[in-house]
Structure 1
Amino acid sequence: MTEGNYTAVTQFILAGLTEKPELQLPLFLLFLEIYVLTVVGNLGMITLIGLSSHLHTPMYYLLSSLSFIDLCHSTVITPKMLMNFVTEKNIISYPACITQFYFFTVFAISECHMLAAMAYDRYVAICSPLLYHAIISYGVCFWMVVVVYSLGLIGATAHTVCLVRVVFCKAHVINHYFCDLFPLLELSCSSTFINEVVGLCFSAFNILIPTLTILGSYIFILASILHINSTEGRSKAFSTCGSHISAVIIFFGSLAFMYLQPSSVSSMNQGKVSSVFYTIIVPMLNPLIYSLRNKDVKVALNKILGKRSFL
Structure 2
Amino acid sequence: MQTMHAVALTHGLPIDDEQSLIDVELPVPEPGSRDVLIEVLAASVNPVDVKQRSGSPELDAPRVLGFDGAGIVRAVGADVTLFAPGDEVWWAGQLDRQGSDADLQLVDERIAGRKPTSLGFASAAALPLTTITAWEALFDKLRLTSADAGTLLVVGATGGVGSVLLQLVRELLPSVRTVATASGAENEAWVRDLGASEVVDHHADLVAQVRRIAPEGVDWIFSAHSAGRAADYAALLRPFGAIVAIDSGRDVDFDLLKSKSLSWHWEYMFTRPVQRSSDMITQHEVLDAVATLVDEHRVVSTATTVLRGWDAATFREAHRLVESGHTVGKVVVER
TM-score range, shorter chain: under 0.3
**Higher CA-based Rg:** 1
Give the TM-score normalised by the residue count of structure 2. Answer: 0.23
Query: Which protein has greater RCO, CA pairs closer than 8 Å, 6+ apart?
Result: 1
Structure (1 or 2) with the greater helix fraction: 1
Structure (1 or 2) with the greater strand fraction: 2
Give the TM-score normalised by the residue count of structure 1. Answer: 0.24
